Chain A
Amino acid sequence: MASDRIFGLVTLFVALAYIASATQIQTSFLSDPVGPKAFPMLIGAVAAICALVMIFKPDPDPDWPAARTWGGLAIAVIVLICYAYALKPLGFVIPTIFAAGILSYQISPRPLPAIASGIGLSVGLFILFKFALGLGLVAFPKGWF
């Protein structure tokens, strides 16, 4: 119940903000009867109605994970964000070893298989992408080799 209500409330605010920003859309001199504002505002309005239904007629709560698992999920998100930033400056191999290894450890918390999985996936996928599929991937940071 609470999950739907919270999500509905957040959605309602987002929908209202969306409608508000849609009102700010500039119209060009070539405007048609509907213009570029109407459809986004309509979508925002329907979303707001759906959000209200979720608030007033919520479904039973889903099984949310325990606090520890939430921690794990947060780590996974941080790892993926760092991976996104690291790919360009550090090349493919090193960030992939860390990202794949950490994700692997989170799915099955055993250090050795996780390390093996990180190194194996990094090297294996690099060979596959670079030589079998011909992608222009950079292996290591520039100037290393």
Chain B
Amino acid sequence: MDMMANLALGFSVALSPFTLMLAVAGCFLGTIIGALPGLGPSNGVAILIPLTFTMGLDATSALVLMTSVYYGAMYGGRISSILLNIPGDEPALMTTLDGYPMAKQGRAGDALVLSGVASFVGAFLATIGLMLLAPMLARVAYLFGPAEYFALYLLAFCTLGGMASNNQAKAALASCIGLGIAMIGVDSSSGLPRLTGGNLHLYDGIDFLVAIVGLFAIAEIFFFIESHGKGSSLGVKLDKVRIPWRDIAATKWTMLRASGVGFVAGILPGAGASLGSFLAYMSEKSIAGPKGGFGTGVAKGVAAPEAGNNSAAGGALVPMLTLGVPGSGTTAVLLALLMTLNITPGPTLFTDRPEVVWGLIASLLIANVVLLLMNVPMVKIFVKVLMVPPWVLLPGVTMISFVGIYSLSGSYFDLLLMVGFGLLGYILRKLDIPTVPIILGILLGGKMEDALRRAMVLSDGDFAFLFSTPIAIGLWIAAIAGFVAPMFLRGVLKKPQAVTD
């Protein structure tokens, strides 16, 4: 009953004409961003966050807009996967395996509509899961003290790093870079400056938005300059778009199973949508066996990863909202948004700011319906976006990033720092050092140190206190397993270089 009342509160927030308009705009913009090769949900949200602030939106509106962009980008990623054989973002990678062959067989329209429906099923079920699970997890989170939070942050770094790179040392290094950056500025407990090198600009620390936009958006332009913007002309023709009822009926159980797998993958801190789509595809492939014809352009091979990755996107919101630990790269960016809006994610969010949480959940449900309605009849419009040449698109993205950061701080130092982060992002991604743990480090570094210091104050400096409760021990074991397991599973979980989610 409680939940119905909360949901009613959420809808009362989300159904105001202005919020509804933001949700529609966010979905539209998100789908376009997701469809463009190279721009994933993390980049999209990263570029738009600074603009959200300069538009002066309140917390709920900003959150609704950004999560609509997030869900939209997750939907849009499939478009370039199917038509160009280039995933718009990494979670859409698995969709290329059957989506592009299906399009080459002249069934591009069917693949697009089917993947749109699968995305809807995945995201919708995940939002229901979020509604049911998040309040429960929030109650468990009340049992967390500083020792448990320290172990939880460690778990996030270990699992995210483990999944994001092919080399554990590089993943750990990325986390250290982020944590190291987070230490710059005034120490919260003593009020004294740390590691600023005497530079006054650094007394406030390095703004995570500057780092995010630099590492994601500015780094992207360097990649395009390197590739001279090749590989973005339409690969296959899109003829008449109609609803493939037969394919939808044939894949209904696939969608449901993939949604379940994706949701669980999304909840794991750090694992994210890429793992969701990968596991959903692989499990359906093993269920179908060799006769399933996976990889040759079968409907199930399109439905499974799309349901999986969109479901994981919803799942990733569970740890972010309840524990303040993002479940994926994009939710790390969304966490930055929440923190800048002075909203502290965690168990108390559900009691202190119910209108924010339930408004968000309600708008996710609305965004999903909007996205389904947009993505089936309007798919041809989104396909047109793929024709925007990169030599217009990428300079445009860069200018938007500059204006976004400049209008927030008005400081050229932040812009220079952003360019520096762009260059760093380019080199790191070349060396297969993931950039998402850096963001996570900048976001969680202060909190992690705070948890450690509070734990030490409580125990009078006894490090054994960090392993003193069953929850903390469980989290430590999970963290170590999350860091070590990928070394043995590397053959199975071999991932491509660029990790944006």
Are A69's CB and B226's CB within 8 A?
A: yes
> A109 vs B228: C-alpha distance in the bound complex, in angstroms?
8
Within B340-399, the residues touching A (CB, 8 Å) are 389-392, 394-396, 398-399
Q: Are A77 and B419 in contact (CB under 8 A)?
A: yes
Residues of B within 8 A of A62 (CB): 430-432, 497
B430: A residues at CB distance < 8 A: 3, 62, 64
A residues less than 8 Å from B400 (CB atoms)? 125
- Shortest C-beta distance, A75 to chain B (Å), equals 9
Q: List 16 contacting pairs A-B, 8 Å CB cutoff, sorted by A.
A: A22-B194, A28-B189, A32-B189, A39-B448, A43-B180, A46-B172, A50-B169, A62-B430, A87-B402, A87-B412, A104-B392, A107-B221, A107-B394, A109-B228, A121-B396, A135-B407
Whether B392 and A120, one on each chain, are in contact in the complex, defined by CB atoms closer than 8 angstroms, is yes
Which stretch from B239-247, B297-305, B451-459 is at the chain A interface?
A: B451-459
**B180 with A18: CB separation less than 8 A:** yes
Using A50-B172, A81-B416 as known contacts, say yes or no to A31 and B190 having CB atoms under 8 A apart: yes
Which B residues lie within 8 Å of A46 (CB)? Answer: 172, 176
**A residues less than 8 Å from B191 (CB atoms):** 28
For window 165-180 of chain B, which residues contact chain A by CB distance below 8 Å? Answer: 166-167, 169-170, 172-173, 176-177, 179-180
- Size of the B side of the interface (Cβ < 8 Å), in residues, is 66
A33, B460: Cβ atoms closer than 8 Å: yes
Known: A33-B460, A59-B167, A84-B416. 5 other contacts (CB 8 A): A39-B448, A54-B173, A88-B410, A101-B395, A108-B229
Contact A50 B391 (CB under 8 A): no
Q: A4, A57, A69, A84 — which one has the most chain B CB atoms within 10 A of its CB?
A: A84
- Count residues of A near B (Cβ-Cβ below 8 Å): 72
10 pairs of A and B residues whose beta carbons are closest in the complex:
A33-B461, A84-B415, A28-B190, A53-B169, A50-B173, A47-B176, A108-B391, A100-B395, A103-B395, A107-B229
Which residue on B lies nearest to A62, using beta carbons?
B430
CB of A129 within 8 Å of the partner chain: yes
Residues in B lying within 8 Å of A, measured CB to CB: 51, 54-55, 166-167, 169-170, 172-173, 176-177, 179-180, 183, 187, 189-192, 194-195, 197, 218, 221-222, 224-226, 228-229, 389-392, 394-396, 398-400, 402-403, 406-407, 410, 412, 415-416, 418-419, 422-423, 426-427, 430-432, 448-449, 452-453, 456-457, 460-461, 497
Docked-complex contact A30 and B55, CB < 8 angstroms: no
A67 interfacial contact with B, CB 8 Å: no
Contact across chains for A125 and B195 when beta carbons are under 8 A apart: no
Residues from chain A with Cβ under 8 Å of B222 in the complex:
73, 76
- Residues of chain A with a CB closer than 8 A to B224's CB: 107
Nearest CB of chain A from residue B175's CB, rounded to whole Å: 8
Contact with B along A99-121 (1 / 0, CB 8 A): 11101111111000110011011
Residues of chain A in range 44-58 having any CB-CB distance to chain B below 8 Å: 44, 46-47, 49-51, 53-54, 57
Taken together as a complex, chains A and B put the C-alpha atoms of A106 and B392 apart, in Å, by: 11
Do A39 and B183 touch (CB < 8 A)? Answer: yes
Complex contact A50–B170 (CB within 8 A): yes
B178 CB, nearest partner CB in chain A, Å:
9
| Contact A92 B398, CB 8 Å, known A18-B180, A34-B461, A80-B218 | no
CA distance A117 to B399 in the complex (A): 12
Do B183 and A43 touch (CB < 8 A)? Answer: yes
Residues in chain B near residue A136, CB distance under 8 A: 407
Q: Within A1-43, which residues are at the interface with B (CB < 8 Å)?
A: 3-4, 7, 11, 15, 18, 21-22, 25-28, 30-34, 36, 39-40, 43
A114 with B180, Cβ < 8 A, contacts A30-B189, A80-B419 known: no
Asked if residues A80 and B422 are in contact (CB atoms below 8 Å), the reply is yes
Q: Is the CB of A43 within 8 A of B179?
A: yes
> How many whole Å from B77's CB to the nearest CB in chain A?
22
Cβ B228 vs Cβ A107 within 8 A: yes
CA distance A57 to B456 in the complex (A): 36
- Knowing A43-B183, A47-B173, A117-B391, the reply to whether A84 touches B403 (Cβ < 8 A) is no
A31 to B, closest residue via Cβ: B190
The answer to whether A27 touches B399 (Cβ under 8 A) is no
A33 — which chain B residues lie within 8 A by C-beta? 456-457, 460-461
Indicate with 1 or 0, residue by residue over A110-145, a CB within 8 angstroms of chain B CB atoms: 000110011011100100010001111100000000
- Across the interface, do A32 and B457 meet the contact criterion of CB distance under 8 Å? yes
Task: State whether A99 and B192 are in contact (beta carbons under 8 Å apart), knowing that A32-B456, A81-B416, A107-B224 are contacts in the complex.
Answer: no
CB distance from A124 to the nearest CB of B (A): 8
What residues of chain A lie closer than 8 Å to B412, measured between beta carbons? 84-85, 87-88
Q: Are A34 and B402 in contact (CB under 8 A)?
A: no
Q: Which residues of A contact B176 (CB under 8 A)?
A: 15, 43-44, 46-47, 50
Q: How far is the CA of A133 from the CA of B29 in the complex (A)?
A: 15
Least Cβ–Cβ distance between A93 and chain B, in angstroms: 11
B189 touches A65 (CB 8 A): no
Assembled-state Cα–Cα distance A88/B402 (Å): 12
A57 cross-chain contacts in B, Cβ below 8 A? 169
Chain B residues lying within 8 Å of A84, measured Cβ to Cβ, are 402, 412, 415-416, 418-419
Contact pick for B391, options A31, A107, A125, CB 8 Å: A107
Minimal beta-carbon separation of B156 from chain A (angstroms): 15
- Which residue on chain A has the smallest CB distance to residue B415? A84
Interface residue from B54, B423, B453 paired with A77 (Cβ < 8 Å)? B423
Given contact pairs A34-B452, A53-B169, A99 touches B226 in the complex (Cβ within 8 A): no
One of A39, A88, A129 near B452 (C-beta < 8 A) = A39
